[in-house]
Amino acid sequence: MQFKNGTDVAMLNACSNVIIGEKLYDSNMADLRRGFEQIADKRQDFTPEEMEPICGIPADTLREVAARLCPCRETPSSSGGMGVSQHTHGTDNAAA
C-alpha cells in the first residue's frame, strides 16, 4: 500500500483495529500475551475510516488488506530487518 509519508503507524493501527475488531487473531495466543486487552482497547479509535484521511489509503483497502490478505495464511507472520527500527517511526512501527 502506498501511504502518505510519515503515516505508517496510523495505517498499521487501522489494520490492527480490523484484525482485533473482527477477531481475526489466534485467541489462544492473545490469552498468553500479557497486555493484549490494553492493546485491543487502544486500537478501538483507529478505525479505517478515521485513518483514511491521515494515511491516504481508502478505508475499504485497509479493511481488505487487514481482514482478507493478512490472516488468510495458515501461520501469518510479520518480520522486518534492522532498517525497521532505524526509521524515524521505527520503534512505533514495530510496536504497531
Q: What is the pLDDT of residues 20-72, one digit of tens each?
A: 998 888 888 888 878 888 889 989 999 999 999 999 999 999 999 988 776 55
What pLDDT is attached to residue 26? 81
Mean pLDDT of 3-11: 90
Q: DSSP assignment, residue 28?
A: H
Q: Report whether 13 contacts 96 (CB < 8 A).
A: yes
**Which domains, and CATH codes, for the chain?**
8-90 (3.40.228.10)
pTM of the model: 0.76
Single-letter code of the amino acid located at 42: K
Distance from C-alpha of 32 to C-alpha of 23, rounded to nearest angstrom: 16
Q: Which residues contact 31 (CB under 8 A, 6 or more apart)?
A: none
Mean pLDDT of 60-87: 70
